Structure 1
Amino acid sequence: MEAGMTLRPMLPMVLVILMALAMVALLGLARWRMRGLEAEPGARAAWWRRAGMAALVIAIIAGPSVRASEAITVSNVEIYMLVDRTGSMAAEDWAGDPPEGVENPTATRLDGVRADMASIRQAFPSARYSIIALDSAAAVELPLTTDVDAVDSWVGSLTQEITARSSGSSLETALPQLSQLLAQSHEANPQNIRLVYILSDGEATDGGLAAQEAQSQGWNWQAMAPVVDGGAVLGYGTAEGGQMRSYDGSPATGEHTNADYIPDDQSGQPGISVIDEAALEALAQDLGLEYFHRTGGPDDDAPESFTDLDIQAVLSDGRVAKGSRHYLVWPLALVLSGLLIWELVDLARADRRLRLILRPRRQA
């Protein structure tokens, strides 16, 4: 923190100056009237005390403040989560624990996504969050918000896409939306920290159409990298792959049920989804992020490995740290309070003396 004392008047400076001149005039008049007269005991001390009180009032109104340049706080962190919820994310090859009380206790990739999203949310309780959901299309389902309850609610209600509506997809489907969100954020608040978390199995099922369309419109992951300060690419699934339950939107279908498996288009047998780590690693490299393979097994990195953030390291790119000014009046107010107490005690004593003087006259 770099700090320097400055004045930040609580009132217009002209009024502060006029008040100061008025107090000086009144104090000068009181001092002049004391000259040549026998002042009461303590009168001169009272004058100095009141002069000090007047000076302190003017000093407080003048608004001494500390101008500080502070490290950016967690509340200036924006977290963008791109969540893949295509049918392949319901593949039953997650080694972690499934939720309790389900019909079929076979864990899915989405169980891992929910757990990791909860870890990210817990690591940044004061951050602002935005969630982009990816299936056959991409949509911003949670605009940037500090409402962590809304984040928790979204995570708790996360499901795979309805199988009948699936028409193929890839991560590039969400590239335009995410790029626009980050660009708008950087333009509005360049000092903020933007973290991007991409949670997916990397499997592309659209024949490269989304990638071609994004490229034709000038969108690419590398161009996004300069406005991304951190985050991670989290990849779910295994090389052996897993089968996925079909989902029609009803509670009796989808993951953790005994619904039919989604068939392969060519063989008609239950399809198997395999993670595409090469695509995910390439994406992480393009964004300048680290890639983490998530299986739910004991070899997985702890969530802290992708949620710990060194704020100072992020700011080392030369951006200006957020500035602020803080009033520094409490020492003056403390001294003023002491003088006011002294003044009240002195007035009480003077009132008592006056009562003692007047009492014999009233009795007479």
Structure 2
Amino acid sequence: MTFIPLVPGWLLTAGTLVLLCLAVLAGLGGWKRSATDHGERRSQLLHVGSGVLTVLLLALAAARPGLPGAGQQAQTNDLNVFFVVDTTSSVAAEDYDGAKPRLEGIQKDILGIAEQLSGARYSMITFDSRARLKLPLTVDGAALETSVELLSPQDSLFAKGTSVTVASELLSERLKKAHEQHPERANVVFYLGDGEQTSTGKAGPMKVDQALVQGGAVLGYGTEQGGRMKQYLSYDSSPPQRYIKDLSGDTPGDAVSKIDPAKLKSIASDLGVPYVHRSAGDPVSQALAGTHATGDSGSSDSGLRGRAELYWIPAGLAALLGLAYVWSLTRSGQRLRKALGSAPERKTL
């Protein structure tokens, strides 16, 4: 069982203690004014006890108890969707849908996933030589579309060796922050890239707490034969014409980028999500294989699960106690009016 308080824990605790004190003081005050009749005292004890129990039940309801994973499948508006996008020079490799850049496939899939998960909160992290937060979590679909349209490969003049897991720290930070702010929402991560490691040294693991990732996928783009990459220059607004050259050999030629499925599968393992290779014409449902929220085309008996809310149980019991208390007060008032009506009138001189 987990708890998601409606207010900060310290405020809930302080408010509960104050209400408990008021309930007890009200009962003690009534006790001092009460008669010595045992039946009346028992009734008063019940009043004090019901007041205290009502306060405790309301505090429990405000703490929002629930059973994670026991409810229906999560609604898309309960999702935080994180897109981690490769924007290194290799996304310009022309081996997607014939001779189109891989970036076109990435852009198409992001928009397709967002359409299937309409109503979710979206965030985008891009990475080349370093990771950048391009879009904080937002429900603004237009902002996501604009961010996708503005995606472009890294400036070729500033391209350096890139690690495919350079976004690990930033992603982990954003996942933790999202969980702290809204622990009831599920986090879904889509990593989109080709897995090509161009920095010196071996790529480290994707250090992300898998407990903070409830779905998503690693989506791979490119072919084993690879493709040439055109130069992208930030100062030049005209379409790129020249190809990036490979100067490592004796005879310079066009550089070729190839997909690295093994590395992408390793990243998928680190995140705890499936790896899916993407080609032109592949349905978006394949990319959503690890994310089954209400409204998508996934299987109804697997995937992302919601949370069974239990706050209604203590809230309902508190409401019943409140009704019983009102009924008791009404009966007491009726008895008091009856007693006053039957009392003999005093004669005044």
TM-score by length of 2: 0.62
1:74 counterpart (67, 73, 76): 76
**Matched positions, count:** 239
Quick one: distance in 1 between partners of 2:65 and 2:286?
A: 32
Moved more, 199-208 or 221-230: 221-230
By how many angstroms is 1:286 displaced?
1.9
1:141 aligns to what?
134
CA deviation string 1:248-286 (max 9, x = no partner): 1223243xxxx1100113133110000011000111122
1:304 aligns to what?
285
Matched, 1:261 2:243: yes
The alignment-based identity, stated in percent, is: 34
Quick one: distance in 1 between partners of 2:101 and 2:292?
A: 32
By how many angstroms is 1:124 displaced?
1.1
Contact preservation (8 Å) 2:169, 2:207 = no
1:45 aligns to what?
none
Alignment of 1:79-98 (within 5 A): 79-95=81-97
2:186 aligns to what?
193
1:276 counterpart (243, 246, 260): 260
Distance change >3 Å, CA 68–CA 204, structure 1 → 2: closer
Contact preservation (8 Å) 1:80, 1:197 = yes
Contact preservation (8 Å) 2:217, 2:274 = yes
Contact preservation (8 Å) 2:229, 2:255 = yes
Distance change >3 Å, CA 320–CA 95, structure 1 → 2: closer
1:164 counterpart (157, 162, 166): 157
Contact preservation (8 Å) 2:83, 2:192 = yes
Distance change >3 Å, CA 223–CA 84, structure 1 → 2: closer
By how many angstroms is 1:123 displaced?
0.6
TM-score by length of 1: 0.60
Quick one: distance in 2 between partners of 1:144 and 1:128?
A: 6
Instruction: Please say which structure displays the higher CA radius of gyration.
Output: 1
By how many angstroms is 1:186 displaced?
1.8
Contact preservation (8 Å) 1:315, 1:321 = no
Structure 2: any 5+ residue segments left out of the alignment? Answer: 1-63, 294-300, 317-349
Paired residue type of 1:278: A
Distance change >3 Å, CA 68–CA 285, structure 1 → 2: closer
1:56 aligns to what?
none
Quick one: distance in 1 between partners of 2:146 and 2:310?
A: 35
Structure 1: any 5+ residue segments left out of the alignment? Answer: 1-66, 97-105, 212-219, 329-364
Quick one: distance in 2 between partners of 1:131 and 1:193?
A: 16
By how many angstroms is 1:307 displaced?
2.4
SS in 2 for 1:234: strand
1:112 aligns to what?
105
By how many angstroms is 1:75 displaced?
1.3
Distance change >3 Å, CA 266–CA 306, structure 1 → 2: same
1:245 aligns to what?
230
Contact preservation (8 Å) 1:114, 1:156 = yes
Quick one: distance in 1 between partners of 2:206 and 2:308?
A: 27
CA deviation string 1:27-73 (max 9, x = no partner): xxxxxxxxxxxxxxxxxxxxxxxxxxxxxxxxxxxxxxxx9977443
Quick one: distance in 1 between partners of 2:238 and 2:114?
A: 29
Alpha-carbon RMSD? 2.9
Contact preservation (8 Å) 1:191, 1:322 = no
Matched, 1:295 2:279: yes
Alignment of 1:302-341 (within 5 A): 302-307=283-288, 309-311=291-293, 313-314=302-303, 320-322=307-309
CA deviation string 1:202-250 (max 9, x = no partner): 0011113763xxxxxxxx5354212100000000100000000001122
By how many angstroms is 1:313 displaced?
4.4
1:344 aligns to what?
none
Distance change >3 Å, CA 161–CA 188, structure 1 → 2: same
Quick one: distance in 2 between partners of 1:286 and 1:141?
A: 23
